Amino acid sequence: MRIIIICIMRTTITLNKSKRFNLGLNSKTLFKDTQTVALKHKNETYYLRLTKNDKVILTK
């Protein structure tokens, strides 16, 4: 199994000073060459997997 570790910069758009929206990331871009992506959050590693049925599962 090949795992690609990515670092995503958080991009935030502020509208009307009260509503905040984060820009999304397309799953086709994320899973371009792999079925599993490792995400780091607060010193924990999570794995985002693409299933055979084209579903996305997040596990620790």
pLDDT digits (tens, 9 = 90+) for 3-56: 555 555 555 555 555 556 566 778 888 888 889 988 888 888 899 999 999 899
Q: What pLDDT is stored for residue 3 in this prediction?
A: 52
Q: Which residues have CB under 8 Å from 51's CB, separation 6+?
A: 57
pTM: 0.60
Could you tell me if 60 and 46 are in contact, meaning their C-beta atoms sit under 8 angstroms apart? Answer: yes
| Domain region containing 38 | 3-59
Query: Scanning the structure block, which residue is given the tokens 């086709």?
Result: 28
Q: How many domains does the chain have?
A: 1
